Structure 1
Amino acid sequence: MADHLCILIHGLWGNPKHLKNLAAALQAEYADDKLHVLVTKSNSNNFTYDGIELGGERTTNEIEEEIKRLEKDGNRITKISVVGYSLGGLVARYVIGLLYSKGYFDRIQPVNFTTFATPHLGVRTPLLGPHNYLWNVLGARTLSTSGRQLFTVDSFRDTGRPLLTVLADPNSVFIRGLAMFKHRTLYSNIVNDRSVVYYTSCITYKDPFVDLDAVELQPLPGYEGVLLRPDEPVRPKSRVPLGFWPRVRATGWSTLTAVPFYLLLAVLIPVGSMLFLINSGIQSIRSAQRVRLHESGGAAFGIERYRANPLLEEAQQLEERVFERLNSNQGQDYLPTPPSEDEERFTKFEHSGGQFKGQEKFPTLALTSDQFYMIEGLDSVGFTKYPVHISKVRHTHAAIVVRTNRWGFGEGKIVVGHWVKHFEV
């Protein structure tokens, strides 16, 4: 009988159907007597507005019930793997902290942890000045609790710090639990992911893929150029003078695309923008009601099981520890690399762990101190990072997991095939 349970967790606005092809790929490769696959459903659709914490508790409860059901049928689970897509990767990391704190990893071996297009560093766009406020501050207000957490403008319990920062704290149950997994892997779209851009899904402060004409991609042999080498995915090309049209695209069009998302919506598609904001408001109200019910003990399960003393005590201790760590690293390490190489008033952020060969040749993004802190914490446990170049469709966020059987998602099947091949049972 199978003793290995693999959990698949969908993303924002998602549902189990989004991961049917991931589940099918696993089940086609490994028989039922080798692997059980659980595609979680308790945090589906608009419930994903309710935040990573609440979603993590719902999902953990679902996992515990599944383990009980399997063991009741005579299947003793001794190994576990967790896979998250998009927001589901953050929920997965929260779930891992809960399972670790409840002692599950004392009797169940953590094997594979994988994320596909997950915003590990949140979804803040690396911007400065007014653009930073318009998108990163106002945007956080449209997705209820999840939005505040993804834009890192929330405060987790008594820590005074954003939840994503707490998730990356080296001394937290979240990182300690994550470090116990035998394999930690992520897949990150390098272009055309309109939901989760490269830097955050690949946990890096560099984005060498802004201009593909300026670099040479280094493909991973045997994967048709869709997967790039994790150790050296890209090399810069020698500089050549731009022609007339490339200069127009590099100046005029880049200015247009720099217009904040909400301003673009308000000017170009006011009706769609209004409907989006109205729905966001409605869903935020409904989400707040669900959260209050959950917090007051009205959930379908007792949340006190997931808020035991070890987790609470650590959360209360994180504020001072995180502040001290961030404060000691202030200065030029956190200053952004300017958009032009001619401006040399900023010093590059130096970091050695978890980055690719030659990364120092590319400019540093204007990330926040919290995001640099997350990079350091997550890189401390180590990930194998696979950049993904899907070029046949412009909706790469859905294609990377073959969310539907749409034409053009064949490149995503190559990604899924690689993941299944390297999945340890």
Structure 2
Amino acid sequence: MADFIGGTSEADHLVVLVHGLWGSPHHMHSIAKALRAEHGEKVHILITERNSGSYTYDGIETGGERVCHEIEEELVKIKQGGGKIKKLSIAGYSLGGLVARYAIGLLYAKGDLDNLECMNFTAFASPFLGVRSPLLGHFNHVWNLLGARTLCLAGRQLFGIDKFRDTGKPLVAVLADPNSIFMCGLAKFKRRSLYANIVKDRSAVYYTTAIAKTDPYVDLSKVKVNYLEGYQPIILDPENPVEKVASPELSAQPPTTENLVWSWIKRIPMILGLSVLIPIGILAFLANSAVQTVRSASRIKLHESGKGGVDVKVYRAFSPLIKDMKDAIGDGLEDMGTDTRHEYIDDVDQEGAGFPTLALAPYQFAAIQALDNLGWRKNYVWIHDARHSHAAIVVRVEREDWYEGKVVLSHWVTDEFLP
């Protein structure tokens, strides 16, 4: 075991790290290293393991029960080793943020949080509102339709087409219901923080990771970005991250026909290559999705029977809602794979400094309001050099072009994390 995982009997603060979809414990090593370097032996670090790899296909509920079980096991193990945990913090990356929130609800319902001081809940690039695309067009409609059906139960939950138990609502909506055990558990934490990429996050875009109904960063040429002192040019000023600016005048001459022709000629080899590789890749992806769906269904069945290493009855004894669910999320929610009536909203959100409101689903708007009422410290991140900011924000593996993520982790352990 790496020396930055676990802890001594002197540690009184348990910090739990939860990886994302298709992830592994190794993806959280950079976070753990930064935490250990800054806070030393004061913290006991647990990186959850039971949702590794394809096990994340099994959904947020199953994953959350596994994580809750791991946390309870670790607390018992620490106590048996002579330690005593007084504080708890949980950080989730990507899908791990939703899984962690589910686990927190279970810990709250079971009373496990009653004797712990809940310090930090942090989400790194986590899709709080799911991953349904609010954009108009055939591509986005196909993305919403197929994407939800190629990631097993986790996909249906992320795209909001599931019905969680007897609530009749998507799980991401129930997670944000003010009357749920999940929100009550989350409310116990002294600090709730999130880190959201403003651009180049191809897995979880800005609006869902920042819990926002606008996206000011669609065209960076039309805005002025303000940085946080000491963390420029990566972390934006949370108090005043962005301002609208006048559109710059185009001084360059338009390209000539000859230049356009040569530009297309240069692209021909790439286009021909993609025309062959993309269909092969799609077929391979769909074939793998079919296999993973069967395997995931088998694992979920085993989990539901209590033979997957977790006593499910212990966690299913609680209703996810403390009171009857209010109608704030909206009645008659349509299957997001076929409902396109809410693709665009014409008005401009005044709270978003004049930026247009995204065409989200009713349950997503309700989730934004409920989560914002809970209170968050929102940190906006601009990864410049990495092509895929979703992986770089937590330095998922050691790569030279992901160095900017180390600035994000440094900010978290020094400026955000309550020891």
Structure 2 residue matching 1:105: 3-state secondary structure: coil
Equivalent in 368, 371, 376 of residue 383 of structure 1: 376
Is 1:361 aligned with 2:370? no
Deviation at 1:124, TM superposition (A): 0.8
Query: Identity rate of aligned residues, in percent?
Result: 51
- Counterpart of 1:396? 389
Equivalent in 118, 143, 146 of residue 151 of structure 2: 143
- What is the rounded CA distance, in whole Å, between the counterparts of 1:319 and 1:129 in structure 2? 33
Change (3 A) 1:376 1:267: farther
Change (3 A) 1:106 1:290: same
Deviation at 1:324, TM superposition (A): 6.2
RMSD: 2.4
Instruction: Please tell me whether the aligned partners of residues 226 and 237 of structure 2 are also in contact (alpha carbons under 8 angstroms).
Output: yes
Is 1:318 aligned with 2:318? no
Q: TM-score scaled to structure 2, two decimals?
A: 0.87
Spell out, residue by residue over 1:153-184, the C-alpha distance to the aligned partner (whole angstroms, 9 max, x if none). Answer: 00100111000000000111111111111011
Structure 1 residue matching 2:229: 3-state secondary structure: coil
Deviation at 1:360, TM superposition (A): 2.8
- Counterpart of 2:338? none
Q: TM-score scaled to structure 1, two decimals?
A: 0.86
Instruction: Please tell me whether the aligned partners of residues 161 and 319 of structure 1 are also in contact (alpha carbons under 8 angstroms).
Output: no
Instruction: Please tell me whether the aligned partners of residues 235 and 379 of structure 2 are also in contact (alpha carbons under 8 angstroms).
Output: yes
- What is the rounded CA distance, in whole Å, between the counterparts of 2:208 and 2:72 in structure 1? 30
Equivalent in 93, 99, 102 of residue 85 of structure 1: 93
Is 1:44 aligned with 2:71? no
- Counterpart of 1:270? 279
Equivalent in 197, 200, 224 of residue 208 of structure 2: 200
User: Any gaps of 5 or more consecutive residues in structure 1?
Assistant: 249-264, 327-333, 339-345, 353-358
- Counterpart of 1:408? 401
Deviation at 1:224, TM superposition (A): 2.4
Structure 1 residue matching 2:166: 3-state secondary structure: coil
- What is the rounded CA distance, in whole Å, between the counterparts of 1:267 and 1:372 in structure 2? 41
Change (3 A) 1:52 1:214: same
Is 1:124 aligned with 2:117? no
Deviation at 1:348, TM superposition (A): 3.3
Deviation at 1:412, TM superposition (A): 0.6
Structure 2 residue matching 1:120: 3-state secondary structure: coil
- Counterpart of 2:4? none
Q: Report how many residues are paired.
A: 386
User: Any gaps of 5 or more consecutive residues in structure 2?
Assistant: 1-9, 258-273, 334-340
Deviation at 1:106, TM superposition (A): 1.1
- What is the rounded CA distance, in whole Å, between the counterparts of 1:81 and 1:233 in structure 2? 27
Deviation at 1:320, TM superposition (A): 5.4
1:151-300 aligned within 5 A: 151-242=159-250, 269-300=278-309
Deviation at 1:325, TM superposition (A): 12
Instruction: Please tell me whether the aligned partners of residues 336 and 348 of structure 1 are also in contact (alpha carbons under 8 angstroms).
Output: no
Equivalent in 26, 37, 40 of residue 35 of structure 2: 26
Instruction: Please tell me whether the aligned partners of residues 227 and 233 of structure 2 are also in contact (alpha carbons under 8 angstroms).
Output: yes
Amino acid at match of 1:113: F
Is 1:424 aligned with 2:415? no
Structure 1 residue matching 2:224: 3-state secondary structure: strand
